[in-house]
Structure 1
Amino acid sequence: MTGNGDNASLHTLGDRGKTVDVPENDVRDRTVKDKDGKGIGTVADLLVDDREGKVRFLQVEHGGFLGFGETTTLIPVDAVTKITTSDVFVDQSRDRVAGAPGYDPDLVDDRPYHSSIYGYYGYPPYWGAGYIYPQGLWGMQPGRPPTP
């Protein structure tokens, strides 16, 4: 359980030049698949809170062609149901993710923006009373610099 996220700031893992505890736990560049196994997009980065060092959102790029017209959205880690060596599965449909609020890097620390994303996907926000971090899937602990 947590509640310490009240004053946490979020940052993308890539912007800090860090990675997760072990390379096998890093889901960046893996394909995101919906609840029916259909491809949605690719995990471009992870948004991590600086207070607890926990991943809060997947930054997912989808749509477009050869990098043109891609859309970026955030998916709460709470939506993740399964992780394999090549894929990350979420409990949402591809259409639902496509209709999500777009990612705005200027709002990375905006609590109402995060709240709207959690609400859109039907999850309570991580800073709420009684919130329990998803267990079993997220062995990753950000904070280690990448190995050369």
Structure 2
Amino acid sequence: MKRRKIVIFNNGKDVKKYDIHATDGNIGTVNDILIDDQKWTVRYLVVDTMKWLPGKKVLISPMSIKKVDYEEWKFELNLTKEEIKNSPDLDADQPVSRQYELQFGNYYGYAPYWGPAGLGNWGLYATPGELVQNTNPNVGVPVEAGEESHLRSFKEVTGYDIHAIDGRIGHVEDFIICDRTWTVRYIIVDTKNLWPGKHVILSPDWITDILWTDRAVTMDLTKEQIKNGPEYMPMQDITAEYERLLFEKYDKPKYWE
């Protein structure tokens, strides 16, 4: 059976170029992306509201995105400007806490994506749309004191060192994101320490260790494996054939099987 070709944003930097449109007008542009470091899934777009709400940044969940317009470079939301304007205030200088996430979700009537525990990246579901469709409004879950949200900024993670089992190979340059599940499907790595001027893509599923304080990620691959793996040309389409070759070269289980 032929596998359906996955639809992917070219890279995370492209996402940051998109405008955000409420049902009644433009509210600003994407300033950053917040990634869940456990599920490697985009949880929020951080939006700079610019002239509309000067000095204020707001979070937009993929659960609020109705449509991605690739030609016009914009996200169309199922929210009004008034709804967004009255959303819980975000302290741009502080990490997003789990308590804030609950407040945010309860305001929009979204169930928490981290509970109940399930196989999907969005609670029991694979996509944010499915979670919204099955949400019980005003649902809440207990949060332990000091519980972490496990959110990492795109700006923060970009530039992290990437290590093979036997040494450093380069650094994180970008991400490839699936626009259906909002999963970080691949990390784009500049292999300047191993293969100057060339790039590879590696799956977060192959990560064996992350040292956040050292800004370092270790992959379950050797330098030789990566050097002999498929090269990635920035902005190229990720076809089913390319993915098959990638996983076979690295001898990794295929996520689509």
TM-score above 0.5, yes or no: yes
Q: Which runs of 5+ in 1 are unaligned?
A: 1-19
**1:49-68 equivalences in 2 (<5 Å):** 49-64=36-51
- 115-124 vs 132-141, which deviates more? 132-141
Residue 103 (structure 1) aligns with: 90
Mapped to 2, the partners of 1:24 and 1:90 lie a distance apart of 19
The answer on 1:143 being equivalent to 2:187 is yes
- Please provide the CA RMSD for this pair: 2.9
Residues 119-134 of structure 1 correspond to what in structure 2 (within 5 A)? 119-129=106-116, 131=123, 132=125, 133-134=127-128
Partner of 1:35: 23
TM-score (norm 2): 0.42
Give the whole-Å Cα distance in 1 for the aligned partners of 2:33 and 2:84. 16
Partner of 2:159: none
Partner of 2:77: 90
Aligned partners of 1:26 and 1:140 also within 8 Å: no
Tell me the CA shift for residue 120 of structure 1: 1.3
1:25–1:140 Cα contact (<8 Å) kept: no
Q: TM-score, normalised by structure 1?
A: 0.70
Identical aligned residues as a percent: 27
Go from structure 1 to structure 2 and tell me whether the alpha carbon gap of 1:24 and 1:121 turns closer, same or farther (over 3 Å shift).
same
Q: 1-side partners of 2:87 and 2:188: how far apart?
A: 31
Deviations along 1:29-73, whole A, 9 cap, x unmatched? 21100124x1111111111000111000110111438xx932101
Contact 2:42 2:182 (8 Å CA) reproduced = no
SS in 2 for 1:128: coil
Matches within 5 A, 1:7-46: 22-23=10-11, 26-36=14-24, 38-46=25-33
Cα separation, 2, equivalents of 1:62 and 1:93: 14
Cα distance, 1:144 vs. partner? 2.9
In the superposition, relative to structure 1, how do residues 145 and 120 fare at CA in structure 2: closer, same or farther (>3 Å)? farther
Distance in 1 of aligned mates of 2:109 and 2:34: 19
Q: CA deviation at 1:24?
A: 7.8
Q: In the superposition, relative to structure 1, how do residues 24 and 54 fare at CA in structure 2: closer, same or farther (>3 Å)?
A: closer
Partner of 2:155: none
- Residue 56 of structure 2, aligned match among 71, 85, 88: 71
Deviations 1:86-107 (A, max 9, x none): 1011110011111112222413
2:66 & 2:181 partners in 1: Cα distance?
Answer: 11
Between 1:133-142 and 1:50-59, the stretch displaced more is 133-142
Larger Rg: 2
Task: Give SS of 1:26's match.
Answer: helix
3-state DSSP of counterpart to 1:143: strand
Distance 1:57 1:143 in 2: 18
Give the distance between the partners of 1:24 and 1:107, measured in 2 at CA.
20
137-146 or 110-119: which moved more?
137-146
1:145 Cα offset (Å): 4.4
